[in-house]
Structure 1
Amino acid sequence: MMHKFSSYIKAFFCLFCILLYQYNSAQEHPSLILTKKGVAEIRANLGKFPLFDESVSNAKAQVDAEILNGIEVPIPKDYSGGYTHERHKKNFMMMQKAGLLYQILNQDKYAEYVKNMLFQYEKMYPTLPLHPQTRSYARGKFFWQALNDANWLVYTSQAYDCIYDYLSPVERKRLETNLFCPLADFISLENPKFFNRIHNHSTWANVAVGMIGLAMNNNKLIDRALYGMKNDGIKPGEKDNDGGLLKKPGQKAGFFANIEEPFSPDGYFTEGPYYQRYAMYPYIVFAEALQNKKPKLKVFDYKNGVLLKSLNTLLNLTDSDGKFFPLNDGQKGMSYYSRELVFSLDAAYLFGGKDSGLLSIAQKQGEVTLDDAGFAVAKAIHEGLATPLEKISVEYSDGPKGDQGGVGILRSKGSKEDLTLVMKYTAQGSSHGHYDKLSFSFYEGGNEVLQDYGLSRFVNIQQKGGGNYLKENKTWAKQSIAHNTITQNETSHFSGDYETGDQFHSEKYVFDASNPKLQVVSAKETNAYPGTELQRVLALIKEGSFENPFLLDIIKIKSKTNNQYDLPYYYFGQIVSTNFKYMSPQTLSPLGTKNGYQHLWKEGEGSQVDDNIKISWFNKDRFYSMTSVISNNDKLIFARIGANDPDFNLRNDPAIIIRKQDTKDTYFVSAIEIHGNYDPVTEIGTNTYSTIKKLDIIYQDENYASVRIENKDGESSNFIFAFNDADKYSQHQIKINEKDYKWTGPFTIINN
């Protein structure tokens, strides 16, 4: 009997030890992005790895200056860009850095700085009403929108994790009871339209609640963050004030749902690269914290590892200078040098198999994060493990299952810099999407040859609408005419209606980059204009007589009715020459009255009796030429952005528009060349003329079209495309001018 009792005692003691260990492990701090093991390794190696040491030094200088300046926690008042907004934003960033420095340098002044600031917020928060600025659908307390309150909590939770053991149990209780838990509830329970949907805003909200839940070991908050709230009171189809749908019938919510829905299996984020960059920080920081504290969730394996995959996808959605392609709402100039990408790249290296190509980008970034991941990156770079990250021609699918169109990127070597073509044939892209089906942009190195406008917003510049989206984002930047694509009857795709556009996506047709001399991407759009079918073919063709690969652009239109079709090309620079006559009005007037046309000045109009037009322009010491096939009744319009813009919110960029009127079925065919150079010192221009002599559609029927490209030396080649059979093994045969052409696959180019 005593033996059995003794066994019970031992079993109970073992169970107690296990529970105690689990409790202590769960309570171990730091444990989110910086771990105790990581701290020990970092402290033992300070002074050995220059990139990490430099990052520590830079952070130390910033935080030390703030400590000397004194803590400022002003009463919230301003929009983004205003003093109170920027002060609170700086506070959460400095708290996070100070917390990390406390662990790395083991100096109490950094913990004391975080503690003192937190208690100022703890004192303020219970007395705060909603922010006085009322524009947001989800107003915050510290900031004009709850999104920024979520930003604050994501960063501050890391600082709290770092100084957790520095604080007394009583101090922790005060902060959690009076500040952290109420703020987490405010972000979620009190703002379900913000917290419980699929959007980058909601990702930040989910992660804010989850990160502070992990720091406090509060499983209730963690579960809410991961899986959302079951009863949120949101009606399916209800809109936010940006025109975005808040919830679809049967839609799940929470962090895992915000991984499942916006990302395609290829890692493309449906809102576009600008907002993927912004959202990558909460995605990766929470995933890293969950991996450290709840490894059984295997969050980095979720949806076949899409979070880590998406980082590589995002890096490839950049030009040669690392700037993100401005698809959908995207601010030009945003790049992988942003703090979000510094953090995400370091974490992706540590948790994603230590891809040496990421190290070369980290070297360009010139800094690392002050945590386990940043230390691993700095150590690997010091050991010479970095290799170049090659950007490739690639197609990325859109949609949760990868079946909602996509983005095609073609890259080719040029005489000076790489050429990059970006074609967009995605789903709508949430509330940040534009009405730009089958649009494209074209780059030489980091320079835009043919541009996508991006967004209409001066981020964090208070004088411009409080730093928020301007009305011109809806009246101009989102409209179809603002993009290099077809606009029918001066009406945007889906009539500019979000609910309609959100139901449809373009269809992938062909993507083939296997031959560096002939790369092709094509897609179809059948819903933008009911009764009209659009198909676009873009080919990068490298031929010996051309200085650079040239771009061949073919658009086939089939419609049930006669329409007006406008195809703009938005270029940069100055017109050098044209081969057609045009008239320039003495007084400018807008091109139209709505759907973006009201923002275009009509600077000239012409026509051409020949079947080709040629326009050349000059920009940044480089020459560009466009040759287009036209009909006698086509109009050629010179336009410039900026009409009906009394506050000068729009850039005054130029465009050439090819207009076909009263037309049912038709083609648009153009070729764009990059050539020559002008030296302003020697004042000598070289190769300043187009190489193309003539462009012809020499065959067309329901299934095929052939375009002949003749150069100035009399040499020619035929590009032939099959519009209704994309099978790469299909055999094709057509007769052109009594000559038989045979080939395999959806396209070919044949030299004559």
Structure 2
Amino acid sequence: MNRKTYHFFCLLFVFCFHTLIQAQEHPKLILTKQGVEAIRAKLGTVPLFDASLSKIKDEVDAEIATGIHMPIPKDYSGGYTHERHKKNFLILQKSGVLFQILDDEKYAVYVRDVLMSYAEMYPTLPVHPKERSYARGKLFWQCLNDSNWLVYTSQAYDCIYDWLSKKERKKLEKDLFKPFADFISKGNPQFFNRVHNHSTWGNVALGMIALVMDDDQLLNRALYGLKVDNLSEDMKDNDGGFIKTKDQKIGFFGNLDEPFSPDGYYTEGPYYQRYAMYPFLIFGQALHNAKPELKIFEYNDGVLLKSVETLLNLTDADGEFFPINDGQKGMSYYSRELVTAVDIAYHFGGENAQLLSIAEKQDRVVLNDAGLSIAIGIKEGRSEPFLKKTVNLLDGSDGTEGGIGILRKDDMELIFKYAAQGLSHGHYDKLSFSVFEKGDEVLQDYGLARFVNIEQKGGGNYLKENTTWAKQTIAHNTLVQNETSHFQGKYEIGSKNHSVLHFFDTSDENLQLISAKEKNAYPGTEMHRTFALIMDNDYEKPYILDILKISSETNNQYDLPFYFLGQVMEVNFDYEVPKTLGQLGAANGYQHLWLEGKGQPKSKNTKLSWLNNQKFYSITMAANLQDELLFARIGANDPSFNLRRDPALIVRRKDISNTVFVSVIESHGSYSPVSEFAVNASSSVAALQVVLDTVDFTAVEIESEKGNTKLLIVSNVNASKEQKHELEIENNKYNWTGPYYFGQLKK
């Protein structure tokens, strides 16, 4: 062997040996050896990190003291066995991290002993006895929760991997981790091979344990999906089936590509974006550490990190996520998923100082180098306020499937939904909206019908009313035609369609507009809705102008509900209250509405005022004298009291094809129960009317109580910013460029 050949083989040996050592070095998922050393060096000097560490140590120590609990699985979510195994995986993950940071073997012993107990139990377990899920787990009633378990326990296993003996690792992998990974993937392709937050958890569960075990075959399955040529009908899920087939992208990359738009909006909505962010980002961190060549945080223009700031923009003033689609009210950026997301986005995303202010409110960090990084930033005083913006978030993988518009001015927030269906968690409510003021709901979106993890309510699962009420169109603030839901309430139709943006303009912060069209919810009918958030000196606060134009090939009945929250103060129309309550309709959500009152307009304007959270609100509507005005309340056909008893005012317009609904929504004044003073309790809108409605243009006048009249003209066809328009209204000519005109009415 010549010298050159000898040197070549020496270098090859060194490279292979280094690669082998690097591949086997643990921890390498959310912690690295270098990261652990940096954390240990900073202990006692970074207050937020130290406080987070102390709190978790106390929690884990208390749990270890109670012993190991391994009940045979039998319950739905909320039940003892479900919550016990959930607590186990959360404590295991924290124990592993404590072992690495504190170098105290008691935490490694606990992780090992619990995992060994699972290794004894798992081979004996049948599928879970509860049969509701389309993909039953073993530890839990659905594979989703089994995947949660594996995502967290993988981290614990990684933290004690080098501490364990080779014999112990072999047993855990042979009897627990590999069978577990095969069960949630090969055993449940209907769960694993699709684009959905469920599958994201499944893909990440396999990916995390694959990285710990250095199993490239398993990692490949996690990243690119399980290869299945044929899927039978019984492999479809409860929502009609949208499992990915062999010619479609699946696995982690499929779930990263399809649900996220270029703006970082996740098509299922913010509640499920929050839920999915943990596996997306924790696996992103693990891939960054263990497979840096994938450059995961640069993938798709950095969409993973971008999505965190997008998600924060989908919260109200209290940090609670807007309840779009299946969203539970009250879920917020204080959740553990968002603590992880904010820390990772800060650490790997260029240290955006605005994220520090969110972390300060969360008042805790994750125990890894990302958490340390953000805690140091706060200690050094680099925090800046997170500025929530008026924003139009596009939906769809290429940003062409509608979107979510959020208009913000002072304390007012309007959320306009013209998005894609949102997969199985989507609701049938195109062009719906909701309004918030300072974190309080003014006009609400119902959200989901579910009591998450409350066993008494359907085992903590979705209630049947989620389908019969919450998903139906009448449950939202949008148009219902002939008492039927959009797309007939059918997923296979709704999933193929989305609304289309007409224009979005925020060039003037005192006049923000968004406009979109929907042509497929009802065949032969086009809905075109425009919202303007307007700051005008004649009004105390910004007000909302809502223009909903309907064009149809046939005469129909149109219902437009407004789900207001609070106590009715005043109306300007007469109505009759029935002596006996009856339901408003027979199906499509109408069966869940009580009819509490019925009237008709007495003038060209209909007005409703109410009080909520010591603030007054009013809706002023341009009326047809033939309109029916229906007071309704949720709760009919609900013997188990699964639905909230919230009120609504529904405007019904019958036997008409083309029409326009126009409304102004105001917040005004206040009431103090201490001083018992009411201030500015009345609406500032004196008159509202449609002065022109053609195929090309719709024009609306708004007159204030101070006598000033403003005119908004919307170009219904040409929304180009460069298009010049000329229009004559009541012998006055209006000239403008762009999709709308707004100004003083000419007289």
TM over 0.5: yes
- How far is 1:609 from its partner? 3.4
- C-alpha distance in 1, partners of 2:356/2:244? 39
Q: How many angstroms apart in 1 are the aligned matches of 2:613 and 2:602?
A: 32
Instruction: Say whether 1:204 aligns with 2:197.
Output: no
| Residue 144 (structure 1) aligns with | 141
Q: 1:699 pairs with 681, 692, 699, which one? A: 692
Separation (CA, whole Å) in 1 of partners of 2:692 and 2:202 = 56
Matched, 1:182 2:179: yes
Q: Partner residue of 1:25?
A: 22
Q: Distance in 1 between matches of 2:346 and 2:675?
A: 48
Is 1:285 matched with 2:282? yes
In the alignment, structure 1 residue 160 sits paired with structure 2 residue 157: yes
Does structure 1 residue 70 correspond to structure 2 residue 67?
yes
1:480-491 alignment to 2 at 5 Å?
A: 480-491=473-484
Unaligned 5+ runs, structure 1: none
Q: Percent identity?
A: 59
2:391 to 374, 394, 409: 394
* Amino acid in the other structure paired with 1:19: C
Q: Distance in 2 between matches of 1:663 and 1:250?
A: 46
Correspondence for 1:354:
351
CA change 1:535–1:235 in 2 (3 A) is farther
Residue from 438, 458, 478 that aligns with 1:465: 458
Q: Which residue of 1 aligns with 2:259?
A: 262
Residue number in structure 2 paired with 1:105: 102
Which residue of the partner structure matches residue 651 of structure 2?
658
Q: Aligned equivalents of 2:347 and 2:146: distance in 1?
A: 29
**CA positional deviation for 1:232:** 5.3
Cα drift, residue 324 of structure 1: 0.5
Q: Does residue 526 of structure 2 align to residue 529 of structure 1?
A: no
Question: Which residue number corresponds to residue 293 of structure 2?
Answer: 296
Instruction: Provide the rounded CA distance (Å) in 1 between the counterparts of 2:96 and 2:670.
Output: 53
2:646 equivalent to 1:629: no
Q: Cα distance, 1:404 vs. partner? A: 0.6
Secondary structure of the structure 2 residue equivalent to 1:166: coil
Q: For residue 8 of structure 1, report the CA deviation from its aligned partner.
A: 2.9
In the alignment, the residues of structure 1 paired with residue 6 and residue 233 of structure 2 have an alpha-carbon distance, to the nearest angstrom, of: 56
Query: Structure 1 residues 380, 236: CA separation in 2 closer, same or farther (over 3 Å shift)?
Result: farther
Q: How far off its partner does 1:301 sit?
A: 1.1
Deviations 1:592-630 (A, max 9, x none): 000000000000000013111111011111100111011
Q: Which residue of 2 aligns with 1:479?
A: 472
Q: How many residues align?
A: 745
Q: Secondary structure at the match of 1:88?
A: helix
Distance of 1:622 and 1:467 partners within structure 2: 34
Question: 1:237, 1:248 within 8 Å by CA — same for their partners in 2?
Answer: no
- Tell me how large the CA RMSD over aligned residues is: 1.1
Render the CA deviation track for 1:398-427: whole Å, top value 9, x for unaligned: 1111101111110001xxxx1100000011
Q: What is the CA-CA distance between 1:249 and the residue it aligns to?
A: 7.5
Using structure 1 for the length normalisation, give the TM-score.
0.98
1:389 offset after TM fit, Å?
1.0
Match of 2:531 in 1: 538
Aligned to 1:492: 485
CA contact (8 A) 1:236 1:249 kept: no
1:425 is the counterpart of 2:412: no
Contact 1:453-1:482 at 8 Å conserved across structures: yes
Structure 1 partner of 2:710: 717
Structure 2 contact 228–246 (Cα < 8 Å) conserved? no
Find the residue that maps to 1:363 and give its secondary structure: helix
Contact 2:47 2:379 in 1 (8 A): yes
Query: Would you say the 8 A contact 2:190–2:235 is kept in 1?
Result: no
Q: Contact 2:434/2:443 (CA < 8 Å) preserved in 1?
A: yes
What is aligned with 1:643?
Answer: 636
Deviations along 1:570-610, one digit per CA (max 9) or x if unpaired, are 01011101111000001100000000000000000000131
Superposed counterparts of 1:24-63, under 5 Å: 24-63=21-60
Given that residues 239 and 491 in structure 2 are in contact (C-alpha distance below 8 angstroms), is that contact kept between their aligned partners in structure 1? no
Relative to structure 1, the CA distance from residue 539 to residue 237 in structure 2 (aligned partners, 3 Å threshold; closer, same or farther) is farther
* Pairwise CA distance, 1:350: 0.9
Q: 1:533 Cα deviation (Å)? A: 0.5
For residues 121 and 445 of structure 2, the distance between their equivalents in structure 1, rounded to whole angstroms, comes to 44
Pairing partner for 2:589 from 596, 601, 612: 596
- Paired letter, 2:672: D
Whole-angstrom CA distance in 1 between matches of 2:551 and 2:239: 34
Query: Does the Cα contact within 8 Å between 2:723 and 2:737 map onto a contact in 1?
Result: yes
Query: Alpha-carbon deviations, 1:408-463, whole Å to 9, x = none?
Result: 110001xxxx1100000011110100000000000101000000000000000000
Q: CA deviation at 1:11?
A: 2.3
How many angstroms does 1:238 deviate by?
6.4
- 1:236 to partner: Cα distance: 8.9
Q: What displacement does 1:18 show? A: 1.0
- Residue of structure 2 equivalent to 1:305: 302
Answering whether residue 397 of structure 2 is matched by residue 404 of structure 1, we say: no
8 Å contact kept, 1:350–1:373: yes
1:236–1:247 contact (8 Å) kept in structure 2: no
Query: Which position in structure 2 is the counterpart of 1:734?
Result: 727
Structure 2 match to 1:93: 90
Q: Which of 607, 611, 627 does residue 614 from structure 1 map onto?
A: 607
1:192 touches 1:232 (CA, 8 Å); kept in 2?
no
Partner-residue secondary structure (3-state), 1:78: coil
Contact 2:229 2:246 in 1 (8 A): no
d(CA) in 2 for partners of 1:506 and 1:128?
A: 47
Q: How far off is 1:6 after superposition?
A: 4.1
Query: What code does the residue aligned with 1:106 have?
Result: D
What secondary structure sits across from 2:545 in the alignment? strand
Q: Identify the match of residue 512 of structure 1 among 492, 505, 514.
A: 505
What is the aligned partner in structure 2 of residue 117 from structure 1?
114
Provide the C-alpha distance between the structure 1 equivalents of 2:667 and 2:234, rounded to a whole number of angstroms. 47
SS in 1 for 2:417: strand
Alignment gaps of 5+ in structure 2: none
Q: Supply the distance in 1 between the matched residues of 2:220 and 2:110 (Cα, whole angstroms).
A: 31
2:163 is the counterpart of 1:170: no
Counterpart-to-counterpart distance in 1, 2:234 and 2:495: 12
Match status 1:689 vs 2:682 = yes
CA distance in 1, matches of 2:248, 2:466: 28
Residue 679 (structure 1) aligned with residue 676 (structure 2): no
Q: 2:334 aligns with which of 334, 337, 357?
A: 337
Match of 1:568 among 545, 561, 573: 561
Match of 1:318 in 2: 315
The alpha-carbon distance between structure 1 residues 238 and 82, as it changes in their structure 2 partners (threshold 3 A), is closer
2:376 to 376, 379, 388: 379
Q: Distance in 2 between the 1:361 and 1:572 partners?
A: 29
How big is the shift at 1:239?
3.1
Query: Separation in 2 of the partners of 1:671 and 1:57?
Result: 52
Question: Paired residue for 1:215, among 212, 217, 242?
Answer: 212
Match of 1:5 in 2: 2
Secondary structure at the residue paired with 1:354? coil
Report the TM-score when normalising by structure 2.
0.99
